[in-house]
Amino acid sequence: MALRSLVARKSLGLGFQSKAKILAVGSTAHSRGFQTFSLPDLPYDYGALEPAISGEIMQLHHQKHHQTYVTNYNKALEQLHDAIAKGDAAAVVKLQSAIKFNGGG
C-alpha cells in the first residue's frame, strides 16, 4: 500500500520535488526530495477547553503525544524513501505498518 501510494505520488509529482506545492497543513519540502511534516499549532489556547479538559492535559497531549507521532512518521517516511531508492522491497513492506500507525496518530 505504501509503495503504491508512493509511486502514485511520484507519478503525480507530489512531495518529491523541492518546488512541489505542499498539500498538507504543517508540512515542508525537505531538501532530500521528499515531504516531511511538522506539528501544527493549535488554533486555540491549551486552556480553552477547561473545565472539561485541563490546559495541562491539552499541552501534554499536543506537545508530547502528538509530536511523537509526527516525529516517528517523518522517520518512517525517510526510511521508506531510502528503501525505495535502494530497491529494497522487503523494507518497503515492513515500513507500511509504521507509516499507517504514526500517520494515523
70 is a domain residue:
yes
Per-residue pLDDT at 19: 28
68 is a domain residue:
yes
Per-residue tens of pLDDT for the chain, all 105 residues: 444 454 444 443 444 333 223 334 454 444 456 789 999 999 999 999 999 999 999 999 999 999 999 999 999 999 999 999 999 999 999 999 999 999 998
Per-residue pLDDT at 55: 96
Nearest to 70 by CA among 31, 41, 32: 41
Residue range(s) defining the domain that contains residue 99: 55-104
64 is a domain residue:
yes
Per the confidence metrics, is the pTM higher than 0.75?
no
Per-residue pLDDT at 33: 66
84 is a domain residue:
yes
